[in-house]
Structure 1
């Protein structure tokens, strides 16, 4: 059996939407990205892909704040406008709604961002690479 590093070119290209939201390895689609709820594994247990490249940073939280929690906040505001319930109703209904719309999407979004990083070979640009891109790879100096 060939080591995973030698088999790099033998993997079918998978869409980040096919693997990431389900927490599956972006290379083989079988292994797992996460060890816990949001903790990224060191490598895939099936194909051996090293997850050192995986750094979605604050991306999942930003997506949740911008898109996922908007329906929850709109729901709470509409509840106040239409029913004007007591504070206890807001606490009993609003807190679970906000938890569901903020915590639950974090894992699928983080998985999607990690899979997209792998598929697009995304990485942080160093200053040397950025300088070369901005100045036409150093031509004309």
Structure 2
């Protein structure tokens, strides 16, 4: 972050912005337009979210991590209780979908808040000129 680790007044910390979907500038709950889709801009302060490049990087890692954790839990349940297959389907399919969607919201919210607070931008070449 520029100027040390200070956060401007009104800006939520990265963890709070990520968990609650808050605007990284003013703290209004206006970051998402759908389950994991960003709004174009904040309705409260007008911050343009499209200038941040969050991308889909978190999606692959989260899906693999959440999938691995839920497989371990499903196998542990199966070894412990041996429920019928329909119990696994009713339990793990919605739990997986909810975990991936909420995980994406948190990861994307953390990335955009972190980019905003650190004033991250695309790299630019500086023309050195002929000395």
Is TM-score (shorter-chain normalized) higher than 0.5?
A: yes
Q: Give the alignment of 1:94-109 within 5 angstroms.
A: 94-109=92-107
**Runs of at least 4 residues of structure 1 off by over 4 A?**
none
Q: Can you list the C-alpha shifts for 1:45-98, whole angstroms capped at 9, x where unaligned?
A: 221211122221123313422544443221112123333333323222222232
3-state SS, counterpart of residue 62 of structure 1? helix
Q: Of residues 57, 60, 75 in structure 2, which corresponds to 1:59?
A: 57
Between the two proteins, the alignment pairs up a number of residues equal to: 121
Alpha-carbon distance in structure 1 between the residues aligned to 2:87 and 2:55: 35
Structure having the larger proportion of residues in helix: 1
Output the aligned Cα RMSD.
2.6
Distance 1:93 1:119, change over 3 A: same
Residues 20, 94 of structure 1: alpha-carbon distance in 2 compared, 3 angstrom cutoff: closer
1:50 and 2:52 correspond = no
Q: Is the 8 A contact 1:53 1:118 kept in 2?
A: no
Query: Structure 1: which 5+ residue stretches go unaligned?
Result: 1-10, 133-137
Tell me: CA distance 1:42–1:99, structure 2 relative to 1, closer, same or farther (3 Å): closer
Aligned to 1:3: none
The answer to whether the Cα contact below 8 Å between 1:42 and 1:52 also exists between their aligned partners in 2 is yes
Alignment CA distance shift 1:82-1:124 (3 Å): farther
Equivalences for residues 62-141 of structure 1 within 5 A: 62-126=60-124, 128=125
Bigger radius of gyration: 1
- Runs of 5+ consecutive residues of structure 2 not aligned to the other structure: 1-7
- Give, in angstroms, the shift of residue 31 of structure 1: 5.1
